[in-house]
Amino acid sequence: MRFLTFVLFVLTPSLLHAAPPPAVPAPAKEPEGFVLPTPAERAAAVGDLKGISNTFRPYFQPNDKTEPLPAPQPGDWLAHQPEIHQSFDLFVKQKPNKPNKQRTTIYLLPLNEFDDYTPQLEELRDFLQRYFAMPAKVLPVGTLPLTRITERVNPNTRKKQWLSTDVLRELKPLLPKDAYCMLAVTTTDLYPDPKWNFVFGQATFSDRVGVYSFARFDPAFWRRERTPEERPRMLRRTCQLIAHETGHMFGIRHCVYYRCVMNGSNSQDESDATPLTPCPVCMRKLHWSIGFNPVQREAELAEIYERMGITGESLTDSLP
């Protein structure tokens, strides 16, 4: 069975980050609406930390600067989506995808040329490599022939769009043998179906491929001036999108415990309010999957955030 996930705006400005289905069936009976975790459930969600060194343990424990996810307000993602509480223990039981000796690398595949103002492919490669502590490589532009991709002009924006399902179809046979996953990226807008307005992206987790558009993060898309002050915000939104969606490729569902990069989002404002950093629970999931050194990871991320002009995202600053 092929599983799809969407990151989308429909006809109204509603940003959806759809979670990947678990590899094994979820609990048979889920609540009809979202139920906020109790403090005890939040504390237990990170799992047993026996075997985690004292040096690494603070990265998997909440501290006085770790902000619990508040009760959803009208219009928020969790006001409409009955997400389950995916604790670390449940995550492991669901047998998520993990890198192995054959699947070691995250690939970026640009579908078009990126100009000097848009996120640079080397910046994104470096960010992914540091964020997931795995090798990341950029494939050449032109690897995927665009002649096989359906194109239209969006009736609302009058901008060119590509059909995301066509891109996914063409990506599958291009997946390198050593790929953990492959992310096609573009500065052209996307849509998943003629009835839809647009999507930020779409992925199939069983095939380990996805396609993501940064078009709507660009002020020029909205006919605004491309100023130096706007670029860090565009870069942050871009990094957040690919970190969140690649996190799903590791089987991490939407986080309901703390403010976290894996929080679901129903608007651009709600998305902007979430951090780039995984919360302790989701950091534990990533660490279990990849086995990185969290101290080294944070030091390397701090350097690239500074280079990109992205501020306020250092996890180390919040550690005791």
Q: Token pair 């289905």 is at which residue?
A: 21
C-alpha atoms less than 13 angstroms from C-alpha of 114 in its C-beta half-sphere: 24
Count other Cβ atoms within 10 Å, centred on residue 69.
19
Q: Report the alpha-carbon distance of residue 295 to residue 297 in Å, rounded.
A: 5
Catalytic residues: 245
Angle at 256 between CA 250 and CA 257, to 5 degrees: 100
φ/ψ (deg, to 5) at 8: -145, 155
258-283 burial: b if 16+ Cβ within 10 Å, else e: bbbbbbbbbbbebbeebbbbbbbbbb
Query: Which of 170, 134, 135, 132 lies closest to 149, judged by CA?
Result: 170
Q: What are phi and psi of 80, to 5 degrees?
A: -125, -15
